[in-house]
Amino acid sequence: MTNEVSAELLLEQARATLRESFGYPGFRPGQERAISSVLGGRDTLVVLPTGGGKSLCYQVPALMLPGLTIVVSPLISLMKDQVDALTARSLPAAFINSTLTGSQVSDRLSRAARGEIKLLYVAPERFDAGTTAERLRAMGVSLLAVDEAHCISEWGHDFRPSYLRMRHVRERLGAPPTVALTATATPEVRRDIAAQLALRNPSIIVTGFDRTNLHYHVLPTRNDTEKDDALVNSLREHDGLAVVYASTRRNVERIAGVLERARISATAYHAGLDDAHRHEVQDSFMNEDVRAIVATNAFGMGIDKPNVRLVVHHAMPGTLEAYYQEAGRAGRDGLQSECVLLHAFPDRFTHEFFIKGAYPERSLVEAVYAAMQRVVDAAGLTDLNPDRISRLVPGKVAGRDVESALRILTRADAVRRESESGSSVFVRLLATPERIKRELPDPHNPVLGLLRALWRAAGNRLNEGAVVSLDGLPPGFSGSATAVPILTGLQSRQFLTWERLGGGLRLTDPGKPLTAFPVEWAVIDRRRRAELAKLDAVQKYAYTTGCRRAFVLRYFGDEAGRGTCGGCDNCLGLHAGKERHAPGSARTRRERAAPVAAASGSSRSRGVRGADPFGGGEAKPASELVLEGADARLFASLKALRSSIAREEKVPPYVVFTDRTLAELAARKPRTPASLLEVRGVGQAKLDKYGERFLAAIKGADETEAA
């Protein structure tokens, strides 16, 4: 009974923290269960849909727990967005990543040690070297939060090696209670996350994957030209900000150009941009200076913008997990948004190519190894590149196939890639001992000294040829400057032959069969089959004639995956083979007969007590929040004020207030600070910071309407 009372007391304190620090009236059921588990000191695995408020599951406990909360986050941009939003609420948070100087990192760690920072966001690679984990452990870590935890699973759709080491990082941090969070995890991936992190009897909280405000569409196309036309039509027919995903950097640049020529303001984002340009591009979108951002999936987890109204995939992703994660960037404020896949059957071939490259067949790997055994020299070295090796392999094999086989061989340490070296040489002794004694009788002769040093380094192997590091020879003979002139003289007298080793491929032991090396054939086959199965699933999604939302929910094991949604193209009767309409077109809107979101300037009015993506409440869903007349004009005025404040503070507009909060302000028109605090998304920190200006704007609008 005492434990139950204590747990309820902690939850009540958590609710108070939510209201005071974040401005939300209550938790959603999944959030409450997760926070209760975390505050109870249990390891916890949380699966909430994108926009479901995963971050509150560790942010609220972090403010209540005595020590430091470490948040492992995969992208620099995502860290910055989270920390910007927290600091805007005057909450003690910071990040350390590669954008900071050494002194800045030291300063933030010192602040954390003094207790001035409660949430510290860290990239997983930060723990790969150095003593970061040990320094943090000394400060006292109360909670470890692993965000985007699907990255830790070999079955997940974003496999990332640094995440695989998080189990050991956790131990180095002192094995604190751990919460792992993700929006996309099948039952198999959930089990793998728990195993990889060594979670102890974890509380697993899955609240469902359904996003009722998102409407899914697949537009069949035959080529890129048709995709470009469909994309432009979708953007013209649908208002609001858009994210367009493309498969390659080249396509990102090309598609951004297509949109610009169609007079749709767009910018390109991909990993090939330098850091400064990438930040500039992201800021232009986050600040709404452009309408659309065209991006590779490098932008996938870096977007935390609540009012994206349209997400278009120009090419089919390789997994349904990736599609759901990226499409879920739309409508995070709970308002109606569209998710469009432009599908052409050849999209599959690109993914098959990458899957087979990552997980080649055993017969190919064995054939490449055998070919190399035939061409390497006595030191196991060849300067043949993959294209030239491919000509020695039976059958129709391309250089890229050889490259994929070499990755497997390198991982098993059967092959090493040698970079050009100034100190490693290949030496073969030609002279007999008798000749050496006869022609080099002086024991103090440096030439004889070098030969003795080579013999001590390589022994009998010197007669057949051996690789010797000149830097490893005894003093007086080590280094290229000393040894090379002597070697050159000995070669001219035919005592030996030598050559400096350049870059190339080396078999670590040319005489060994491949079976002597630890190649994980079963793991490779299993991963290949798993990736192909994931590809089959997303292909089936594209071709299904049933409800698309139900298809996705069934894939993730969600019991809600039955019936119809009434909002996807199939439920609207827009099946492949019939005339297709871009989402947002007049016909689609008529057939759906759904309310228009406040953010798009509707002329109708309804209640405003909609579900917030972070808060609770039993009132109407946010997708039904609409405004009319004077309310719509006030909403536009409040957005302009928000943009002005965002420019002053150099933060994205949503960090000030979300569209959802502005819509409620426009509908409720609070007149006092106390009534402003009752609006979702307005906490004490934001009231102190922005309250006076927004109350003045509401009062000014009232006076204008009255006049």
Position 587 confidence tier, pLDDT thresholds 50, 70, 90? very low
Within 13 Å of residue 291, how many CA atoms lie on the same side as its CB? 16
49 closest CA partner among 321, 309, 305, 328: 328
Instruction: Please tell me the predicted confidence (pLDDT) of residue 309.
Output: 92
Sheet holding 93-96, edge to edge: 93-96, 119-122, 68-72, 141-146, 178-182, 44-47, 203-206
Alpha carbon distances (Å) from 377 to 323, 372, 428, 509: 49, 10, 12, 12
Residue 608 has pLDDT above 60, yes or no: no
Instruction: Please tell me the predicted confidence (pLDDT) of residue 156.
Output: 63
Position 313 confidence tier, pLDDT thresholds 50, 70, 90? very high
Which region holds residue 617: left if phi is over 0, alpha if psi is between -120 and 50, else beta? left
* Higher pLDDT among residues 307 and 707, named by residue: 307
Position 598 confidence tier, pLDDT thresholds 50, 70, 90? very low
Structure tokens at 361: 């067949």
Residue 552 has pLDDT above 80, yes or no: yes
Q: Please, what is the average pLDDT of the chain?
A: 82
Instruction: Please tell me the predicted confidence (pLDDT) of residue 438.
Output: 86
Position 615 confidence tier, pLDDT thresholds 50, 70, 90? very low
Structure tokens at 296: 């590779």
The answer to whether 699 and 104 have CB atoms below 8 angstroms apart is no
Residue 146 has pLDDT above 60, yes or no: yes
Residue 84 has pLDDT above 80, yes or no: yes
Give per-residue pLDDT as tens, 478-529: 776 778 888 888 888 888 888 776 667 888 888 899 999 999 899 899 889 9
| Cα gap 410→387, rounded to integer Å | 17
Concatenate the DSSP letters of all residues of 360-422 into one string: --HHHHHHHHHHHHHH--TTSEE---HHHHHTTSSSS--HHHHHHHHHHHHHTTSEEEEPP-S
Instruction: Please tell me the predicted confidence (pLDDT) of residue 370.
Output: 93
Concatenate the DSSP letters of all residues of 152-191 into one string: G-TTSTT--HHHHTHHHHHHHTT---EEEEES---HHHHH
Q: Spell out the residues 6+ positions from residue 526 whose beta carbon is closer than 8 angstroms to its own.
A: none
3-class DSSP assignment, residue 330: coil
- Helices and strands in the chain: count of H runs, count of E runs: 29, 19
Residue 189 has pLDDT above 80, yes or no: yes
Query: For residue 440, which amino acid is it?
Result: L
Instruction: Please tell me the predicted confidence (pLDDT) of residue 158.
Output: 60
* Pick from 171-185, 195-209, 295-309, 423-437: least confident: 295-309
Instruction: Please tell me the predicted confidence (pLDDT) of residue 603.
Output: 32
Domains of the chain: residue spans and CATH: 2-206 (3.40.50.300), 214-350+530-593 (3.40.50.300), 424-501 (no CATH), 622-706 (1.10.150.80)
Helical segments of 238-361, H only: 249-261, 275-286, 320-327, 347-358
Position 310 confidence tier, pLDDT thresholds 50, 70, 90? very high
* Pick from 291-295, 559-563, 696-700: least confident: 559-563
- For the chain, percent of residues with pLDDT exceeding 90: 29
Within 13 Å of residue 351, how many CA atoms lie on the same side as its CB? 25
Rounded average pLDDT over 196-215:
86
CA dihedral 299→300→303→308, nearest 10 degrees, is 110
- Residue 242 pairs in a beta bridge with 292, 310
330 closest CA partner among 283, 292, 365: 292
Alpha carbon distances (Å) from 337 to 324, 333, 395, 568: 14, 10, 50, 11
Instruction: Please tell me the predicted confidence (pLDDT) of residue 173.
Output: 93
Position 557 confidence tier, pLDDT thresholds 50, 70, 90? confident
Query: For residue 559, which amino acid is it?
Result: E
| Cα gap 392→369, rounded to integer Å | 11
Q: Spell out the residues 6+ positions from residue 227 whose beta carbon is closer than 8 angstroms to its own.
A: 221, 314, 315, 342, 344
Position 226 confidence tier, pLDDT thresholds 50, 70, 90? very high
Position 406 confidence tier, pLDDT thresholds 50, 70, 90? very high
| Cα gap 547→561, rounded to integer Å | 9
Instruction: Please tell me the predicted confidence (pLDDT) of residue 590.
Output: 37
3-class DSSP assignment, residue 685: helix
